[in-house]
Amino acid sequence: MKIVDNKALLLKVRDPAKVAGIIPKSHVLENNQVLVHWGLDEAQVLKNLKIKNVPSPILREYNWPGLHKPFEHQRTTAAFLTLNKRAFCLNEQGTGKTGSVIWAADYLMRKGRIRRVLVICPLSIMDSAWRGDLFKFAMHRSVDIAYGNAAKRKEIISSDAEFVIINYDGVEVVSEEIAKGGFDMIVVDEANAYKNPATNRWKTLNRLIKPETWLWMMTGTPAAQSPLDAYGLAKLVDPNSVPKYFTTFKEAVMYKLSQFKWIPKPTAVETVFKALQPAIRFTKDECLDLPEMTYVDRHVELTKQQQKYYALMKKRMVMQAAGEDITAVNAAVNLSKLLQISCGAVYSDNKEVVEFDINNRYSVLKEVIEEASHKVLVFVPFKHVIDILVKQLSADGITNAVLQGEVSAAKRTEIFKQFQETTEPRVLVIQPQAAAHGVTLTAADTVVWWGPTSSLETYAQANARVHRAGQRHPSTVIHLTGSPAEKHVYKLLGNKMNIHEQIIELYNDLLV
């Protein structure tokens, strides 16, 4: 295959007359060659004829708008998607697949193939990832987030926004409006949420997918927990790729050892691979043009209880600021209280601990762990929160170990060795000051900050536990952000500014 003058493709095929008969403006040449006009329609026809490696014309006629130009793997991913109406994007977390999808959808809009896109994703990335990236890569497109009460969601769905972003559970609330909303493309991010076809969530989405609907499913960890996870995903993209009944698929990929125990068959990987097609996948290791470390914000909604205590604490700060000069010590104490509330446990003035529901934040952490291809470090700045978090991880069967101040030197050495050299634990929960210096933890390539530290040095050193000699994978740092205080602190850390030096200014910013 050869590109000729950016307008035609020169192909060598078994039956050039057949190709020329199907595609207008084609010319049969000698030696089984055919000169084919190169447009989107023609490229899709050639792909359907099983001709391999057909390039998408997006590669020659698209200007890739936005603040950043695409990496080569992003161009390849976008090209693949434009030629596949139903497809999986299985690129690993941190490879920029959101940008690839946005560029591909924008190109199809320009070509008149689609008009509106519904993006279904976790609540935590509706704004920080999707709306943020749409502004970076397609700022000329209108975007809105369908979130809030049912009336507000319905209003946004019925608007003329070209991209509408909604969380999983919101889809069922406004499914009737979505069905009438003119969405000719649906993108599902972290698609493992739709692995179970018995759920109302799956059934609602399945009803919304029409024969003419474009559907792209995104996940970096397809069938990571079990081969059975592939069934629901495959059935949405191509119902013919899997048996009609789940039990038949289960018998195809699993052996039954006893009444309650099944194990994967040796052929399960191949069966799942065939089911999850057409698909494209890039790992971070394959993306040589990626930065060595990527920083990502994930929004976490505070619970009603946290919101109440946060507002009371802020009100007290306002009263203090009005009545007297605020010292750096007082500002630091009050800021710490706001961060404690955000993280899930606050220490009262008489040293008692008030615990909050951490389910919102934990759900986002669990999403990250499930999407990660390797081990995960979770830095938690407050000791009491560590106890709550570890109980939840253990209850969910996520193997973990803990590093905090009272862990002995001998025990730390044992934990480090086990984490680096064995398959378990998958997650290491760390109080930042306890392992911020001199420790190599390159078995992980994902760092999650449950809440920010107030020390720039601690933050940088903690991230360096994975980003050092011996790391074979590009790394990702994820900030869980639920409150204005956290957002401000992460911004200072990102700008490499010492929080202690900025504490009074930060305190005043939070009172606005």
Neighbouring CB atoms inside 10 A of 365's CB total: 24
CA distance 233 to 191: 7
What is the chain's alpha carbon radius of gyration, rounded to the nearest angstrom? 26
How much of the chain, in percent, has pLDDT values that exceed 90?
Answer: 53
pLDDT tens by residue, 164-173? 999 999 999 9
Q: Are strands 475-481 and 293-299 parallel, antiparallel or unpaired?
A: parallel
Please, what is the average pLDDT of the chain? 88
For residue 309, give both structure tokens.
């205590």
pLDDT tens by residue, 427-468? 999 998 886 556 778 899 899 999 999 888 888 888 888 876
- pTM listed for this prediction: 0.75
Among 175-184, 289-298, 336-345, 429-438, the range with the most confident prediction by mean pLDDT is: 175-184
pLDDT tens by residue, 334-359? 888 899 999 998 877 777 788 889 99
**Residue 294: φ, ψ to 5°:** -115, 140
| Helices and strands: H and E segment counts in the chain | 21, 21
Q: Is the pLDDT of residue 1 over 70?
A: no
Indicate the pLDDT class of residue 323, thresholds 50, 70 and 90: low
Kindly provide the residue ranges of all beta strands, DSSP E only, lying in 65-152, ordered along the sequence: 86-89, 117-121, 143-145
Domain boundaries, the chain: 2-48, 74-286, 293-300+355-511
Please write down the HEC assignment for all residues of 434-448. Answer: HCCCCCCCCCEEEEE
CATH superfamily for domain 74-286: Tandem AAA-ATPase domain (3.40.50.10810)
Is residue 395 packed enough to be buried (19+ CB in 10 Å), middle (13-18) or exposed (0-12)? exposed
Tell me if the domain spanning 293-300+355-511 has CATH number 3.40.50.280.
Answer: no
CA distance 276 to 252: 15
Q: Is the pLDDT of residue 41 over 90?
A: no
Cα 19 from chain centre: 40
Cis before 484? omega within 30: no
Same fold, 74-286 and 293-300+355-511: yes
* Tokens 């018995």 -> residue: 198
Neighbouring CB atoms inside 10 A of 158's CB total: 16
Q: Is the pLDDT of residue 417 over 80?
A: yes
CA distance 344 to 510: 19
Of 342, 360, 301, 299, the C-alpha closest to 130 is 299
Q: Is the pLDDT of residue 320 over 80?
A: no
**Residue 377: φ, ψ to 5°:** -100, 135
Paired with 120 in beta bridges are: 166, 188
Cis before 425? omega within 30: yes
Q: Is the pLDDT of residue 302 over 90?
A: yes
Of 204, 21, 4, 215, the C-alpha closest to 105 is 215
pLDDT tens by residue, 462-505? 888 887 666 777 788 999 999 999 999 999 888 888 777 788 77
pLDDT number for residue 326: 65
